[in-house]
Amino acid sequence: MDRTMSANVAGMAGALAMMGFMMLSQKMGFTYGDPLPQQTVDAALEAVHKDAAVTEEQEEAIGMGVHLGFSMSSAMLYSRLRQYISLPGPVAGALFGLGLWGVSVAGVASTLGIQSAPWKQEEEKAITVVLAHLLFGVVVGFLYDQLVPQES
């Protein structure tokens, strides 16, 4: 399997693991509201057309598509950076996941006003989202290295 396809598979698997973790944490009583991709879709739909005839189910489907697309794109970036990181895949992936959280959640999303900065959120929400990105990175790092063995 080539690097591009491997990155896409790893990104999709990472996204599914992340979404599963978030759903499980919600079932355990942790509340965090809509995931960032869903908040982004909601903000975009509101900005583009406030009276858009989009059902809640359609918004959720769009949000899932955005999440999977962003995850696969992020894994593509990981695949390009991987050759410069001489750590085991899960460790490199964990660092990447934390970096992704820092840029997307703590940086861009809070700067654009899509959601409040993590340090202004409830502690359990902020921690859950950090852990979800950490899990995403570990899955991407592990799976990508299985699909595209790294040279020692």
3-state helix, strand, coil in the chain (%, to 5): 80, 0, 20
CA distance to 15, 30, 45, 64, 121, per residue, from 33 (Å): 17, 10, 18, 15, 11
Q: How many residues does the chain have?
A: 152
What is the pLDDT at residue 117?
85
Q: Is 67 exposed, middle or buried (0-12, 13-18, 19+ CB in 10 A)?
A: buried
What is the pLDDT at residue 130?
93
pTM of the model: 0.87
Please say whether the beta carbons of 89 and 150 come within 8 A.
yes
pLDDT tens track for 12-32: 999 999 999 988 988 888 766
Please say whether the beta carbons of 82 and 57 come within 8 A.
no
pLDDT tens track for 74-129: 999 999 999 999 999 999 999 999 999 999 988 888 888 888 888 888 888 889 88
Closest to 43 measured CA to CA, from 134, 90, 113: 113
Q: Distance from CA of residue 59 to its chain's centroid? A: 18
| Maximum Cα–Cα distance across the chain | 56
pLDDT tens track for 44-70: 777 777 666 778 788 888 888 888 999
What is the pLDDT at residue 113?
82
Helix axes 89-100, 56-81, angle to 10 degrees: 130
What is the pLDDT at residue 32?
67
